[in-house]
A and B are shown apart, each in its own frame.
Chain A
Amino acid sequence: MPPSTPILTLSHVSKNYGIVTALRDVNLEVYPGDFIALFGPNGAGKTTLLKIVASLVPPTRGELVFHVPQPGKVRQLIGYVSHQSLVYNEMTAVENLVFYGKLYGLTDLQHTVEGLLEKIGLWEARHQLVRGFSRGMKQRLTLARALLHRPEILLLDEPYTGLDQHASRLLTHMLRDLRDEHKTILLITHNLSEGLELSNRVIIQNRGEFVFEATRASLARENFENLYFEVIER
């Protein structure tokens, strides 16, 4: 039962890269506390949608509105995990987080950074250069960077890619915690079961359009894979 006012509305949003249409007339209302799993094949425009919500990319047409008390401070609300790590290889874990923390104007930075590093299990490696990190360690730092300023809205673009089972499980636990803290989350993933397990809403996107939308409760887990392929190949 979603609250009556959405935190974020996309109306008739389209994005063209030159003559290529990445996103076509997308409408979406996101409510506070939503956990939306966004599925779809490569090239469906999922990443473009996330970048538009993150205000990294301006839409060609349509409107993106945040229903928040201070619309000028939207960037403070958003945490974003992209395909790339967004951290500097030639800096240590602490230096990376302190740098980004300063950009967000965080107070009590030292304390926040230390707490986060401990939580994601990078405490021992905190003074090592990121260059020497394993894929899993780096991904954890990427997550810490996104969570640093305690965003209300989290945008995650295939965060499971390249993680081993251990790191994967840690990520699932963290996402579950964030969901329980009523953060609003948009998750792009190719892992259907993982996405289904966490979300309360499911969207399938193909060729720049939403081709399927449902609440998680209305879906049966066993049939979902068949449903997915049916929808994509329609």
Chain B
Amino acid sequence: MRSLKLIWILAEKDLRLEYRSRQAFLTTFFFALLILVVFQFAFDPGSTALREAAPGVLWTALLFPGVIQLNRSFQLEKEEGTLHGILLSPVERSLLFSGKFLANWVFLVAIDLLIVVAFVIFFNFSFEAKLAWILLLILLASAGFSAVGTLFAAMVSGIRTREVLLPILLFPIIVPTILAAVNGTQEVLLRHQPQFLVRWIQLLSAFDIIFLAVAFIVFDYVLDE
């Protein structure tokens, strides 16, 4: 019980800092929006190719801004050495990981939801009834992204080239998450074959569980100097 409370204390602190500097949230959102718009120019307006590619465009627009957020979540702890402050306290490191993971997850889901609204408008989709499925995909995919991403962000936080290094490490590892999210979204929006959608959701869940557990365990090793 005390562990859960500590996780929440840590996550709540991060979310409060995010709220105080709303500018970062808006910048990240704006970047994602920009990707959506740029992709529009890559296709003929109103073509079927654009509709076919739409799910891929959506998730691309979520990935790159997401990486920026992950990097930021540890940079803000380096600024005044507050990471040391937390490590000095009797809180276990795995709880620190959990708190960061939770805050990043909430942040990413919030961005994703806003982007989905923009996506619906730009790509002219209507998915009232399918919204629950999209929401589920967003929750699961962001969890996997944030689990591995939080671990890797902690790993690269002391490296000068972290801005490029994080996506280089992260994207190959989360290929299953990307594939499942894009194809799941395709099933929801374009193909409507529920048996395949369920399969992708299973894959996302399996990835989340495996890598949350692994990251939770190995996080102990990655913050030492």
Contact = CB atoms under 8 A, between A and B. Distances in A.
Contact between A and B in the complex (any CB pair below 8 Å)? yes
Interface of A: 17, 51, 54-58, 73, 75-76, 78, 80, 82-91, 95, 99-100, 102-105, 145
Nearest to B5: A102
B13 A99 contact: yes
A104 B17 contact: no
Contacts, number: 68
Nearest to A48: B225
Contact of A105 (B2, B21, B86): B2
Interface in B8-23: 9-10, 13, 16-17, 20-21
Main secondary structure of the interface of A (DSSP, over half): loop
Contacts of B82: 86-88
A104 B90 contact: yes
B224 interface: yes
A72 to B, nearest CB: 9
Nearest to B18: A90
A87 B224 contact: no
Given A75-B89, A105-B2, A105-B90, A83 B81 contact: yes
B90 A76 contact: yes
B80 A75 contact: no
B84 A84 contact: yes
A73 B80 contact: no
Main secondary structure of the interface of B (DSSP, over half): helix
B85 A91 contact: no
20 contacts: A56-B87, A58-B224, A75-B89, A76-B90, A80-B88, A84-B80, A84-B81, A86-B80, A86-B81, A86-B82, A86-B85, A86-B88, A87-B80, A90-B20, A90-B21, A91-B17, A99-B13, A103-B86, A103-B90, A105-B90
Contact of B225 (A57, A105, A145): A57
Contacts of B85: 86-87, 100, 145
B6 interface: yes
A89 B78 CA distance: 12
Contact of A54 (B80, B81, B88): B88
Nearest to B225: A57
Contacts of A100: 85, 89
Nearest to A148: B89
A47 B87 CA distance: 16
A113 B218 CA distance: 35
Given A56-B87, A78-B88, A87-B80, 17 more contacts: A17-B225, A56-B225, A82-B84, A84-B80, A86-B81, A88-B13, A88-B82, A89-B79, A89-B80, A90-B21, A91-B13, A103-B6, A103-B86, A103-B89, A103-B90, A103-B91, A105-B90
Nearest to A130: B80
Contacts of A99: 9, 13
A88 B17 contact: yes
Given A99-B13, A102-B9, A75 B90 contact: yes
Contacts of A54: 88
B225 to A, nearest CB: 5
Closest 6 CB pairs of A and B: A84-B81, A86-B85, A103-B89, A75-B90, A90-B20, A85-B80
Interface string B48-67: 00000000000000000000
Contacts of B2: 105
B16 A91 contact: yes
Contacts of A82: 81, 84
B225 A103 contact: no
Contacts of B17: 88, 90-91
Given A58-B224, A99-B13, A105-B2, A88 B80 contact: yes
Contacts of B225: 17, 51, 56-57
Nearest to A78: B88
Nearest to A74: B90
A69 B85 CA distance: 24
A136 B115 CA distance: 44
A211 to B, nearest CB: 25
Contacts of A75: 88-90
Nearest to B79: A89
Contacts of A87: 80, 82, 85
